[in-house]
Chain A
Amino acid sequence: EAGVAQSPRYKIIEKRQSVAFWCNPISGHATLYWYQQILGQGPKLLIQFQNNGVVDDSQLPKDRFSAERLKGVDSTLKIQPAKLEDSAVYLCASRPNRGYNEQFFGPGTRLTVL
């Protein structure tokens, strides 16, 4: 079974530029999550999708971050404009719809903002 795919794996940009990350969850997984992991900290949930609807985006800095999952499969996370403090690893995870406790994580995208 293929895992959660993310691209790119690494991205370096200058502050005030825009960047987008892509996630392809495991086939059939209805729930998709985006996390931000700053160096030395645990992952922090940014947004949760159920199919193509947003379940929780309370921790998403909406003035600069946006995310979408238009067809209930792939998802993109965008930052516009980026700040230095956005330097982090952005992790995508997915989970089947019912009765399953485990989230499956992708390898993440490491963003460096200069």
Chain B
Amino acid sequence: QKEVEQDPGPLSVPEGAIVSLNCTYSNSAFQYFMWYRQYSRKGPELLMYTYSSGNKEDGRFTAQVDKSSKYISLFIRDSQPSDSATYLCAMSTGAGSYQLTFGKGTKLSVIP
């Protein structure tokens, strides 16, 4: 079993839809949970960062972490064509831990 599992998609939604992206993980030591967005032929950019369980909201984006289920989600409200990208979840075990473990990424297309 891989440490981080993420459905690669592709996921195609109409503009304005609510998008749900998910990752599951097996390592209970993970404490920090990140979502990176990667546009085609670009480097990943940090989108959201959450510590431990709970929700975090930033504009149209909401990150949720359920440590009991080892499950994290990213919701995108009112999706826009500019949200079309690959979304990678990433996790680490603790502050100062230098090692991120990434999911394989989900490719999202938002159709106008």
Same complex: no
Residues of A near any B CB (own CB < 8 A): none
Residues of B near any A CB (own CB < 8 A): none
